[in-house]
Each structure stands twice: as C-alpha cells, then as structure tokens.
Amino acid sequence: MIYLQLFFSFLQIGAFSFGGGYAAMPLIQEQVVSQHGWLTLDAFTDLVTISQMTPGPIAINAATFVGTQVAGPIGSIVATLGCVLPSCIIVTLLAFIYMKYRNLSVLQGTLNALRPAVVALIATAGASILISAFFVSGAVSFAASNISFRMIAYFIVAVFLLRKVKLNPILVMLLCGGAEVIVTLSLPSAFS
C-alpha cells in the first residue's frame, strides 16, 4: 500500500510541477508534509538542502530521498519512477506537438501566460523555506526567542558572497555548513 501511495503522490508531483524543481517545492511540501505526514517541516527543509547539494533535478532527488525514508530502497525506486514517468510522457508529446506547430501564435501565447504562474510557485517555495529557517517554531512570530538570528546571519553572508563576491554556490553552501558545524560544536546554545 505504501508503494502505491508513494508512486501516486510523486506521479502527481511529476505531472503538475511546471517550471522546474523550485516550482515543484510547494507540491512536494503539500504531498510529503501536509497530506501524508511522511516528513516534518524541518525535515522538509533538510530535504530541500540535500536536494540542492546533490546532482540532478530537485524533484527527483526529493522523490528518492522521501521514498528511502518511507519505504527503503524499493520505496525510493517507486517514488522516483512516479516522479519521472509523467515528464517522459509529456515531454515526448510536447516535443512532437511543438515541432509540428511551433509557429502558431496560440502556442506562443500559452507559453507566455504560464511564466507568471511559475514565478508565483517559486516565490511561494522560497518564502516557505525562509520562514522555516528564520523562525524557530516555523510560524512567523517576531518575539526574539522565536527568531533564529544565526540563520539570518548565514543568509545575509550567503547572499553577499553569491552576489558581490561571486563565489561558487557549492562553495557558499560548504562554508555555511562548515560554519554551522563549528558554531554548533563550540557554542551549542549561542545565537539560536
């Protein structure tokens, strides 16, 4: 039964996550955290981090990770197949249609209309991740005890290193991860 749930949950994610991995994050969160409760919101944030650090598309990495967490190696295969199958079918059909009708204005208009929706999905995913990282309880509360000043500092430093210094994103992730390990080992209760 769990294999069917994994397959159909990630089949839905694969079928409706237009706009790439970041646009799929709200769909993955809805299925994995809200509907099935396979992961907590904190574990979901870790999933996003792991999906970013490993090669490959975010949705497929997430499917493999969740499948492994829920039902072991077979679960990871089932979830990954569920995530990939719609894309394979849809892309094959769209490639055929696009090659045949690419000059039609209706097709170009449809593609242009989808862009704002994709931006909204990405913004929603980003806001959700920032809230879970910046606020200890996961809910927006501006009491000093609920704000993770350490995570806000990492965010500011990471943005600076990425935008102004133009460091490689992988190096920035490694630096932030290393800083967190050092801070956690040396001052476990500081800056939380």
Distances (CA, A) of 174 to 60, 151, 189: 22, 15, 22
Neighbours of 101 (CB within 10 A): 10
List the one residue out of 92, 86, 89 whose CA is nearest residue 24. 86
* Whole-number pLDDT of residue 148: 84
pLDDT tens-place string over residues 108-127: 888 888 889 888 988 988 88
Structure confidence at residue 115 (pLDDT): 85
Closest to 147 measured CA to CA, from 129, 133, 163, 159:
133
Which amino acid, residue 69? Q
Which sign does the torsion angle of CA 29, 54, 129, 186 carry? Answer: positive
Q: How far is CA 103 from CA 52, 100, 111, 130, 183, in A?
A: 36, 8, 12, 41, 57
pLDDT value of residue 138: 55
pLDDT tens for 24-69 read 888 899 999 999 999 998 888 888 888 878 888 888 999 999 999 9
Residue-wise pLDDT tens digits, 113-170: 888 988 898 898 888 888 888 887 655 666 677 788 889 999 999 999 999 999 999 9
pLDDT confidence tier of residue 178, bands split at 50, 70 and 90: very high
191, pLDDT greater than 60: no
How far apart, in Å, are the Cα atoms of 27 and each of 83, 143, 190?
12, 30, 35
Tokens of 48: 């996003």
Give the span between the Cα atoms of 177 and 98, in whole angstroms: 43
* Confidence at residue 70, expressed as pLDDT on a 0 to 100 scale: 93
**What pLDDT does residue 188 have?**
57
Q: Global pTM? A: 0.56
For the chain, give every domain's residue range: 2-140, 148-192
- Residue 158 has what pLDDT? 95
How confident is the model over 85-100, as pLDDT tens digits? 988 998 899 889 888 8
Contact 192, 180 (CB under 8 A): no
List the one residue out of 26, 12, 9 whose CA is nearest residue 117.
26
Q: Which of 187, 157, 191, 150 is nearest to 174 (CA)?
A: 157
Spatial neighbors of 156 by CB under 8 A, at least 6 apart, are none
pLDDT score of 145: 72
What's the pLDDT at 110? 85
Residue 19, Ramachandran bin (φ over 0: left; ψ between -120 and 50: alpha; else beta): left
